[in-house]
Chains A and B, each alone.
Chain A
Amino acid sequence: MDEVPIAAIWVYLAASPLLWLSLTLVCYLIALWIYRLGGERPWLNPVAIAVSLLIALLLLTRTPYRTYFDGAQFVHFLLGPATVSLAIPLYRQRERLRALALPIVAALLTGVLTAALSAIGLGMLLGASPETLVSLAPKSVTAPVAMGISEKLGGLPSLTAVLVVSTGILGAVLGTGLFRLMGIRDDAVKGFALGVTSHGIGTARAFQVSPVMGAFSGLAMALSAFVTALLLPPLVRWIGLGG
């Protein structure tokens, strides 16, 4: 008698998007709480913690990813409007943009090419399949854009999404330490490099360091999404990959 109501409630919840939508938000809030409790150390990345918690829950309840995504898609959907919203930090930084036009264009082009070519080159060297290589190529760009590029080139958009998130976390975790080692102290430079490499997750990290670093990271993320979307398809076809 005891177990029937619980099972009935579970059957109801498992079929509704409400459960996994709520759990996505709850896990993210727990991750933020852990991150703050741990003194905002970069390796306590909130995305990494939230993803780990959710994977543990899915495995424990034997829930397939598809069921999870039926609920989580409402959060995922907001990536599109968030990309559009990048116009606002871009507009607010227009004066700086004008003053730093030359360094920005130079860093943008070398950064975008380095991101794609280093991923393809290293993957090739270690024997990744063509499908994996195409999915790796746009990994430094924000998720909706990267998934679009991957799909157009015959990669696996959902694999690209995972690689995008991993690249974001890695950049957010390793970025500030690397810049310290390199002796780079200009917040504009640090932010821009983080945004080109690690898109939104890098930008979230950059805003925690300083508003200038965050603005430049957001700027870099928006510009590199655009430039990568234009340059990557011909580049990948030129290398002889992609459809």
Chain B
Amino acid sequence: MLHALTLILVCQLIGEVGVLVTGLPVPGPVIGMLLLLGWLFLKGGVPESVGRVADTLLAHLSLLFVPAGVGVLVHWERLRGQGAAIAAALVLGTLITLAVTALTMAVVTRLTGRSGGDHG
């Protein structure tokens, strides 16, 4: 448990420092994710404790967005002032992105003749 948590934090730390040093345009945690992925491939599997810590973090992923969401308070004036533009970008942008991504994947999957996962 402690080892797994340390591993995850150290991956993030190396990622953050690496981004600072190299000036890569990618945020540190993303580099950390790639490092951990590389480590898993080297190991040839997911150690049980690492899997458990990651699953716990990801199981409550939506909780982690709550503090940022409450920040809507700070931006209330701007959100109201440009309300139409922001609402359109949010609602229509989300619908368009969902539809385009799903269609592309469905069409290319059919063209390459493979079925993705379970149908449900």
Contact = CB atoms under 8 A, between A and B. Distances in A.
| B contact face: mostly helix, strand, loop, or mixed | helix
A128 interface: yes
B46 interface: yes
B82 interface: yes
The 8 closest A-B pairs by CB, nearest first: A188-B116, A148-B27, A111-B101, A107-B105, A126-B85, A72-B67, A161-B68, A188-B117
B53 A85 contact: yes
B93 A122 contact: yes
B22 interface: no
Contacts of A115: 93, 97
Contacts of A120: 89
15 contacts: A69-B67, A76-B67, A82-B57, A83-B33, A84-B33, A88-B50, A103-B105, A107-B105, A122-B93, A126-B88, A161-B68, A167-B94, A192-B102, A210-B118, A210-B120
| A contact face: mostly helix, strand, loop, or mixed | helix
Nearest to B66: A50
Contact of B100 (A73, A114, A168): A114
Interface of A: 24-25, 27-28, 46-48, 50-51, 54-55, 58-59, 65, 68-69, 72-73, 75-76, 78-92, 96, 99-100, 102-104, 106-107, 110-111, 114-115, 118-120, 122-123, 125-129, 132, 136, 139-140, 143-145, 147-149, 152, 156, 158-159, 161-168, 170-171, 174-175, 178-179, 182, 184-194, 196-198, 200-201, 203-204, 207, 209-210, 212-213, 216, 218, 220, 222, 225-226, 229-230, 233
